[in-house]
Amino acid sequence: MKMLRHNAVTSAILGALWMVVLSTTIAIVMSFATGDPFRPHILLSLIWGGSAGVILGRDLGGRIGAVLVAVAIAAACLLGLGPLLVGVEASAFSASVAAILLALSFVWSSVLILNDLPTGGLTRHEFEGAVIRFLTGFGYIFFTAIVLIPFYVMVMTSLKNQAELMQNPLDFSIDLSQGWALFRSYDELFTQFNFGTYLFNSFTISVLTVFITLAFAIPGAYAVARLRFRGRAAFSRSILLIYMVPMIVLALPIYIGFSMTGLRNSLWGIVMIYPVTTIPVALYMLQGYFRGLPAEIEEAGLMDGLSRLAVIWKITLPLSLPALASVSLYIFMIAWNEFLLAFMLLDDPSRFTLTRGIASLNSSEIPRQHLMAGSVVATVPIMALFLGLERFMTKGLTAGSVKG
Amino acid sequence: MAQASPPTGTGPLARREARLAWQLLLPTITAVALVVILPLLAIFWISVKPVGLSDLRAPEVIAREDIRGDTEAVGDAANIRYRLRNSSQDRPISGVSLTDTIPEGLAVQELDPRCALDGRALSCTFGEWEAGFRDTLLIPVTIEQAYLDNDLRPQDSPVETTGSASSVLTDATFTFENFTRIFSGEEFFEVLWVTLFYTVFGTVGALLVGLFAALLLNKSFKGQGILRGLYLFPYVAPVIAVAFAWLILFDPFSGSANALLIQMGITDQSINFFGERPLALIMVTIFEVWRYFPLSFLFILARMQSIDSDMYEAADMDGASPFQQFWYLSVPQLLGILSVLFLLRFIWTFNKFDDIFLLTGGNAGTRTLTVNVYEQAFAISNIGAGAAVAVVIFCCLLLFSILFLKYISQEEGL
């Protein structure tokens, strides 16, 4: 352990590992962007990264030294002896972009990681600081990659056709010369597969669910948060329990009941069910918020002769608008994303919701870019809503404990 | 002077407050009772009944009516024909009867002994029908001028039928066969094992990855808000969209992941990620971690930001290294939220259905208890067995909830 804590050793090890991370990342990024073959060479990455780490870690030659290292790495890549191997099919342009990108990003980030390491032996503090900077860099790359890649693949697949995809599954470059024809799968979804109706159905159902849920949850949450009655504690615990009952357990009896009463295949049936699954969550989130509001304002209202209901309407609700916004958003998201009940209860294509509609696209006869285009159509509105109101949303999520 | 004593019991104001509280809660209680409690009771009931998918439609009398013979001129003879059957192949119907209106201008020649005619109203009673029973009823008529003028066929007036049949859902047949069927054989224990693997590793993985992400974002810098929003994507996106995106990414024939692995020289032959044991189970668990790490990340980050930074400065002064600070200062502070998250996520992962159902459909050794409910009820059409599995899930859930309320709820003041 002690041996590791020497500038040269630490720099060499961190540099070598960092080069593996970066060359893999750049190889994946360039492959996805151009479809050309790029691959990292692990052994060469270790060697190049290790030696570059030693030079950069000791700040040999200062700024000029760093530039020289960058040039050496880029040149090695282009000559086929570097950490990143470029296939012969790749164009000279994309090969040089990859080489320069790798060289610059490596030198720049290694200087940051190995920044304030003194020469010679390191204290534990300095050593761990460098390791943490390395892990942080790795973390950013890792999380961004795992989050973005599936969504990137989703969007890009929806813009390509089956033949192009089969030919080179790595090529996600887009032929912009097609113009609007790029969006043909979206066009077909709306003209041939009825997605306009599904979008409308999903939207209506989600909005109705939000309103019905709030209508039930606001009075309930207020009662639990403010009023004293026997069984209050038991009630707030049973809310939590109900909120844990798995949907699949309820889905069977609901399916049977709906089959017998003819509510299956009707959007009204869905609108009856969804709010009940969200009421416990909403009630739980709201009561937490109501409890945090100062009771004195409400008491002042009561003193001034308002009834309880008037107090809720005129004092509590205006004060809790941010909470209402986050709860509404969260419920909207649950209703919009719901799949199981829609899948079990709706068979008639004219009454599908968006998620049910996408499930129906999953067949061997329908090309997969339609499936992905459908997924994009379902994802984009919720993402837009979420990014626009992220502040509310995260607050709502943390307030509402964990539903999923 | 009378002794002053404090009032005992509940006063009128307190009673009014309690009454108002129950009034406010009544709609919620009613709705939840109808959609949650009632189905829960129903699932216990169904689990001891031999119900199949086909039993959901109650047996009914099916009647088709037409007219046979010449109907061109006055005096032609024809038959009104009723083709009748019991829609069920295994349940009798009792008290079967039929009523119909015979159109103007058809003179009934002869009446079946089971039927009676009152004016133009025909009514017949048949008594009890065996399962799968079929019958044809013929009523000979002659055509009159009014029939030709009216252009009203016998089939234009709807036939009304009555008949009651016992349904397996409501009668008194009970069986424990559903339970013996799901508990017997190796399969149940495999399902249980898969469920536990998925739940334990999915939960722990999501917590650890979430912790890592939270550590990463627990400092303020430009773009922190954007990154936080980005890292929540997997949780916010519809499950159906991300599940299909994963399926396409890891497709064995034309998936980008396989193409990438082959190009990097890690494998020389494409891997069927979601179709092979035990890889499929590992993949669905990774999917679970991927989809739910944002939640633990969010909660852990919220807690981290509420920890006082003075403590870290003091530790820094005393020479504690960053890893020591993490282990001896942060971890003990985070233990509360981590244990709550563990239990909640454990319960929810245990109950998860859609993710696995969409990714593998429960094939290739990924069938969990929840997928088994669907499989039994819809693929094998045995609703009773599906309900029995659901009962097992519910009992496990009850057990976890008791643990939860006992040990965790004090911790977070839930």
Helices (H) and strands (E) in chain B, counts: 17, 8
Looking at the structure, do residues A139 and A197 belong to the same domain, yes or no?
A: no
Task: List Cβ neighbours of A68 (8 Å cut-off, separation of 6 or more).
Answer: A61
Cβ proximity of A229 and B401 under 8 Å: no
Please name the residues between 273 and 312 in chain A that touch chain B, using a CB distance below 8 Å: 273, 275-277, 279-280, 283, 308
pLDDT at residue B410 tops 60:
no
Q: Closest Cα partner for B331 from B200, B201, B214?
A: B214
d(C-alpha A319, C-alpha A227), whole Å: 18
Which chain A residues contact residue B322 at CB under 8 A? 125, 128-129, 132
Cβ proximity of A37 and A90 under 8 Å: yes
Residue A119 lies in a domain: yes
Q: How many CB pairs under 8 A join A and B?
A: 283
Q: Looking at per-residue confidence, does B293 or A36 come out higher?
A: B293
Looking at the structure, do residues A253 and A364 belong to the same domain, yes or no?
A: yes
pLDDT, tens only, B302-348: 888 888 888 888 988 888 888 888 999 889 888 888 888 888 889 88
Looking at the structure, do residues A115 and A194 belong to the same domain, yes or no?
A: no
Which pLDDT belongs to residue A403? 44
Looking at the structure, do residues A132 and A192 belong to the same domain, yes or no?
A: no
pLDDT in tens, chain A (404 residues): 677 788 888 889 999 999 999 999 999 998 888 888 888 988 999 999 999 888 888 877 778 888 888 999 999 888 888 888 888 888 888 889 999 999 999 999 988 888 778 877 888 888 888 899 999 999 999 999 999 999 999 998 888 877 777 777 777 777 777 778 788 888 888 888 889 999 999 999 999 999 999 999 999 999 988 888 888 888 877 887 887 888 888 888 999 888 888 888 888 989 999 998 899 888 888 888 888 888 888 888 888 888 888 988 888 888 888 888 888 988 999 999 999 999 999 988 888 999 999 999 888 888 888 899 999 999 999 988 888 777 766 666 665 544 44
**A261 lies within 8 A of chain B by CB:** no
Residue A280 lies in a domain: yes
Report H helices in A243-367: 247-261, 267-292, 295-303, 308-311, 317-319, 321-337, 340-345, 354-361
Radius of gyration of chain A (CA): 29
Residue A21 lies in a domain: yes
pLDDT, tens only, B54-104: 777 777 788 888 888 877 788 888 888 888 888 777 778 888 888 888 888
**A4 lies within 8 A of chain B by CB:** no
Looking at the structure, do residues A249 and A358 belong to the same domain, yes or no?
A: yes
Looking at the structure, do residues A362 and A248 belong to the same domain, yes or no?
A: yes
Structure tokens at A50: 């290790």
- Pairing relationship of beta strands B93-101 and B160-164 according to DSSP bridges: antiparallel
Which pLDDT belongs to residue B222? 79
**A202 lies within 8 A of chain B by CB:** no
- CATH code of the domain in which A217 resides: 1.10.3720.10
pTM assigned to the model = 0.87
Looking at the structure, do residues A140 and A41 belong to the same domain, yes or no?
A: yes
Looking at the structure, do residues A123 and A248 belong to the same domain, yes or no?
A: no
Given A123, A147, A171, which residue is the final one in a domain?
A: A147
Which chain B residues contact residue A402 at CB under 8 A? 295, 299, 341, 344-345, 348
Q: Please indicate whether, in this complex, the C-beta atoms of B254 and A383 are within 8 angstroms of each other.
A: no
Looking at the structure, do residues A194 and A130 belong to the same domain, yes or no?
A: no
Which pLDDT belongs to residue A404? 42
pLDDT, tens only, B185-208: 778 889 999 999 999 999 999 999
Looking at the structure, do residues A134 and A202 belong to the same domain, yes or no?
A: no
Q: Report the number of distinct structural domains present in chain A.
A: 2
Residue A177 lies in a domain: no
Residue A216 lies in a domain: yes
- Mean per-residue pLDDT of chain B: 85
Residue A175 lies in a domain: no
Residue A153 lies in a domain: no
- Give, in order, the Cα–Cα distances in Å from B271 to each of A372, B252, B358: 22, 6, 19
Given A86, A121, A147, which residue is the final one in a domain?
A: A147
Confidence band (pLDDT; 50, 70, 90) for B286? very high
Which pLDDT belongs to residue B413? 44
Count how many residues are written for chain A: 404
Q: Quick one: CA torsion of A220, A223, A226, A231, rounded to 10 degrees?
A: -120
Confidence band (pLDDT; 50, 70, 90) for B113? confident
Which pLDDT belongs to residue A227? 86
Confidence band (pLDDT; 50, 70, 90) for B408? low
Domains of chain B plus CATH, in order, are 61-164 (2.60.40.1170), 185-381 (1.10.3720.10)
d(C-alpha A386, C-alpha A395), whole Å: 12
Q: Say which amino acid occupies A189.
A: L
Give the nearest partner residue to B18 out of A146, A230, A253, using CB atoms: A230
Given A125, A147, A169, which residue is the final one in a domain?
A: A147
Which pLDDT belongs to residue A354? 92
Which chain B residues contact residue A128 at CB under 8 A? 321-323
Determine the structural domain holding residue A350 and report its residue range: 187-399
Give the nearest partner residue to A279 out of B31, B241, B354, using CB atoms: B31
pLDDT, tens only, B126-154: 888 888 788 888 888 888 888 888 777 77
Q: Please indicate whether, in this complex, the C-beta atoms of B298 and A336 are within 8 angstroms of each other.
A: no
CA distance B123 to chain A (A): 28
Confidence band (pLDDT; 50, 70, 90) for B404? confident
Q: Please indicate whether, in this complex, the C-beta atoms of A246 and B353 are within 8 angstroms of each other.
A: yes
Residue A240 lies in a domain: yes
**A2 lies within 8 A of chain B by CB:** no
Which helix (H) or strand (E) covers residue B98, if one does? strand B93-101
Q: Please indicate whether, in this complex, the C-beta atoms of A227 and B351 are within 8 angstroms of each other.
A: no
Looking at the structure, do residues A244 and A338 belong to the same domain, yes or no?
A: yes
Which chain A residues contact residue B212 at CB under 8 A? 139
Looking at the structure, do residues A39 and A140 belong to the same domain, yes or no?
A: yes
d(C-alpha A95, C-alpha A92), whole Å: 5
